[in-house]
Copies of this chain bind each other. A is one copy, B any other.
Amino acid sequence: MGKVKNHANKGDATLITADAVRRRAPKLQSGPLDYGQLKDITGFPLKVVWIIGYTLLVKHVDDPAITPQRVSMLELIGSNPGATQSQLGAALGLSRPATTLTIDFWQDRGCVDRRTEPKDRRSFGIHLTEEGERQLADLRQKVQMSDKALTANLSEDEIAQLRALLAKIHQ
């Protein structure tokens, strides 16, 4: 399978198939080597699939600076206007310095705004700018396309099953 142009998107994004990135991830099967115990556990294929998903998103976004982690942060800011850095960092499992730098990244690109709130002047409320709203809307489409590419081999039912099983683990 090759690349397919998607016409439904305003940003002229290209759909990248999982096939195109699969070779960069460990194969687990049909390679020249035996994966031994790694074939019989859940953790290893989980990592492989996550690498495929990560790589697909990076390719769909097509800006090496915009990593999945940064996308998650912008999504979180857009979905929680006025949240503090501590809240945002905790929600993504980031240390405070890492949170500062992730928000710096989006602020440097004019996408977010640190607003001092009078009730507690130690912290900021983080908000999207208009540019941030546009960026997030664009990224949401690319995230959806990327996720669709990741699960292209699965039916709707199977995707729902997979999500339910993952939820059982992380909940």
Could you list which residues of chain A lie within 8 angstroms of chain B, going by C-beta atoms? 18, 22, 24-29, 31-38, 41-54, 57, 68, 72, 75-76, 78-80, 83, 87-88, 90-93, 140, 143-144, 146-147, 150-151, 153-154, 158-159, 161-163, 165-171
* Distance of A25 Cα from B90 Cα, bound (Å): 9
Q: Is A83 touching B33 in the complex (CB atoms < 8 A)?
A: yes
A166 CB contact (under 8 Å) in B46, B78, B87: B46
Which of A46, A83, A140, A161 is the most central at the interface, judged by chain B CB atoms within 10 Å of its CB? A46
Residues of B within 8 A of A36 (CB): 75-76, 78-80
A163 / chain B contacts, CB cutoff of 8 Å: 42, 45
**Structural contact, B18 and A169, CB atoms closer than 8 A:** yes
* A165-B162, A170-B45 known; A87+B32 contact, CB < 8 A: yes
So how many copies of this chain end up in the complex? 2
* Assembly CA distance A36 to B143 (angstroms): 12
Residue pair B93, A51 in contact (C-beta under 8 Å): yes
**Pairwise interchain contact B49-A170, C-beta atoms closer than 8 A:** yes
Q: How many whole Å from A26's CB to the nearest CB in chain B?
A: 5
The answer to whether A35 touches B91 (Cβ under 8 A) is: yes
Could you say which residues of chain B place their CB within 8 Å of the CB of A161? 161, 165
